[in-house]
Amino acid sequence: MVQQRMGRIQWGDLTFGPGSRYHVTAVNGLDDLPDIRAEDINRPDQHGDYTSPDTTGARIIQLGLGLRGDTPDDLRALTLALRAATQPQRQPAPLQFLDQDTLVYGKVRQRSIPYDAENLWPTGTAALELYCADPSLYSLEEHTASTSEYSPAAGRTYPLVYTGAGPATRNLVLNPSAEATFTTETTGFGTNSTRTRVNTESYVGGYSTQHAISTASSQGGTSWNIEPVTAGNTVRWAVYVKIPATGITALDLWWRNQTTTLSTTSVIAQARPGAWARVSGSYTVAAGQTVDRVAAVATTSAAGAATWWADAALAHVGPALVPYFDGSNGGTWEGAPNASVSSRPAGTGRAYGDAGTSGRVTAVNDGASPAYPVLRIDGPVANPSIEQVTTGGSITLDATIQPGEYLIIDTRTRAILLMGTSPRRTWLRAGSQWPLLQPGSNVIAYRGSALPGAPGQSSLLTVTWRDTSL
């Protein structure tokens, strides 16, 4: 549902806004129109100008924050965490407005955290300025749809997943989604909490873990065993949770070694009361430590009891959090199903959207500005062609893509990359026009020729985009 209140803002591992220690006091530049770049020139001997198409410059977003600690030293910890998260960047990073379904990519260019030398307060203020070279406002959700190339023969069989450019990943959680009976791979938390495997609530599969906390101001949760992670590695830990609208005042993720908790982070601001939401954090294992358990723990309010649910737990080592998978959902169990580590080869696990009619796919851009899609062609196919049927624009490639090969076409950067890395811009046929997704419904047509010696194998076009506005 569309809302006016700003709500939560995510920058890296920090969340600003409701439920956090960083209150949002001001946001400037998000809904503003960036500066217009125009090349208007005077009309000789006439009134007025000859006007050019308007384009925009970079977007500048300014955030005002109120830091709320319990003590002056607590304020200092908040200051240091904010400082660490706003260092100079080589590349833009996502700034997510979680409750307004908006995403921008920016770099921190200014940071102000004033210090009151006359008073030792537990509260303070901060101001951030982000430079967004790409001024577009994107939806948080990335849309994907796919189709095989047009063929007058019989229909095609569509694979469920494809191999992309992402790194190979292992979900280290041994019992991630409660699809099998509870085993020693999970442990309950809280003496006043009853933990039950239920099929009345779930995010993945048919079951989830229910925690019924029977008393006020009490904790209840689950600890999942994981394959041990040694010092120097960053453990990314995420789980889907559903908490009630009232009754839960704290929700924390823990990184543990046996019964010792090594690190905790509050994720209550990431939850969406009454609905499933993914909460996540990361911890770099310190020298001399090993992480072999991860946990999610909720605390009830002083008013009384509460019940909450957890599902789809994932912990992995890597530079960025990946979408959920287990051995039954885009990955492979390395041991007993639902009681072992699961692995996913490089880039697999994305489900295709609706395939539509053979050779055509409909892409809906719910934004107000043209969207630049990323196009992926999986072989085998010769001389593939992609046409924007609704408004015009098409590209044709003088190329042959063999079985097992794929091509990434980024319409914004105009990059054409074989296997996601090797430039092949010379394959673009002269006269091609890059297709864009205009606001509303767009029909994309895909054509190509079959390769000799590849009977029964179909080529696939996958279109990926976000709703886009300015």
Q: What is the CATH number of the domain that holds 154?
A: 2.60.120.860
How confident is the model over 66-72, as a mean pLDDT? 93
- Residue 302: give its domain's CATH number: 2.60.120.260
Domain boundary (291, 325, 344) is at 344
- pLDDT reported for residue 370: 93
Mean pLDDT of 425-451: 89
Within this chain, do residues 287 and 155 fall inside the same structural domain, yes or no?
Answer: no
Percent residues over pLDDT 70 in the chain: 91
Which CATH number characterizes residue 76's domain? 2.40.30.200
- Grade residue 2 by pLDDT with cuts at 50, 70 and 90: low
| 3-class DSSP state of 270 | helix
Reduced DSSP (H G I as helix, E B as strand, rest coil) percent helix, strand, coil of the chain, to 5 = 5, 45, 50
**pLDDT at residue 352 is higher than 50:** no
Same domain for 398 and 309 = no
Question: Which of 344, 372, 402 marks a domain boundary?
Answer: 344
**CA distances in angstroms from 275 to 2, 99, 403, listed in the order given:** 16, 13, 42
- The amino acid sitting at 199 is N
Domain for residue 75, yes or no?
Answer: yes
Candidate from 25-39, 52-66, 288-302, 379-393 with smallest mean pLDDT = 379-393
Average pLDDT over residues 442-450: 87
**pLDDT of the residue at 460:** 86
Are residues 253 and 323 located together in one domain of the fold? yes
Domain membership of residue 307 (yes or no) is yes
Task: Mark whether 241 and 121 lie in a shared domain.
Answer: no
122-157 pLDDT, tens digit each? 999 999 999 999 999 999 888 888 887 765 433 334
Q: Which pLDDT value is given to residue 67?
A: 95
Q: Using omega within 30 degrees of 0 as the cis cutoff, is the peptide bond preceding 380 cis?
A: yes
pLDDT (0 to 100) of residue 82? 95
Same domain for 296 and 311, yes or no, is: yes
Q: What is the mean pLDDT of residues 170-175?
A: 92
Same domain, 297 and 396: no
* pLDDT tops 60 at residue 351: no
Average pLDDT over residues 293-309: 92
Pair 411, 361 in one domain: yes
338, 356: one domain: no
> What pLDDT is stored for residue 221 in this prediction?
93
So what's the pLDDT on residue 165?
40
Q: How many domains does the chain have?
A: 3
Looking at the predicted structure, is the pLDDT value of residue 103 above 90? yes
The pLDDT score that the predictor gives to residue 161 is 41
CA triple 197-301-82, angle to 5 deg: 95
**Res. 461: pLDDT tops 80:** yes
Q: What is the pLDDT of residue 454?
A: 55
**Average pLDDT in the 378-398 region?**
88
Among candidate residues 121, 138, 155, the one where a domain is terminated: 138
Could you tell me the end-to-end alpha-carbon distance of the chain, in angstroms, rounded to an integer?
20
| Range from 82-96, 126-140, 141-155, 392-406 carrying the lowest mean pLDDT | 141-155
* pLDDT (0 to 100) of residue 455: 54
Weakest-pLDDT range from 176-190, 355-369, 381-395: 355-369
Give domain status of residue 2, yes or no: no
Whole-number pLDDT of residue 311 = 93
Average pLDDT for residues 368-377, to the nearest whole number?
92
Mean pLDDT of 434-452: 87
Q: Are 115 and 125 in contact (CB under 8 A)?
A: no
Question: 313 and 185 share a domain?
Answer: yes
Q: Look at residue 350 in the predicted model and tell me its pLDDT.
A: 42
279 within domain boundaries: yes
296: in domain: yes
Res 155: pLDDT: 38
Q: Average pLDDT, stretch 87-101? A: 92
**pLDDT bracket for residue 369 (50, 70, 90):** very high
pLDDT, one tens digit per residue, over 340-349 is 999 987 754 3
Least confident of 214-228, 346-360, 386-400: 346-360
31-45, 93-107, 129-143, 335-349: which range is least confident on average? 335-349
Half-sphere exposure for 387 (CA within 13 Å, toward CB): 12
Q: In terms of Cα–Cα distance, which of 352, 371, 415, 358 is closest to 156? A: 358
Segment 337-356 mean pLDDT: 64
* Residue 269 CB partners (closer than 8 Å, separation 6+): 8, 15, 17, 18, 19, 20
Q: What is the mean pLDDT of the chain?
A: 86
Pair 225, 334 in one domain: yes
Q: Are residues 227 and 241 in the same domain?
A: yes
Domain that holds residue 322: 169-344
Can you give the pLDDT at residue 266? 93
Q: Are residues 147 and 131 in the same domain?
A: no
Q: Does residue 3 sit within a domain?
A: no
pTM over 0.85: no
- Determine, yes or no, domain membership for 4: no
Residue 241 belongs to a domain: yes
Q: Are 422 and 406 in contact (CB under 8 A)?
A: no
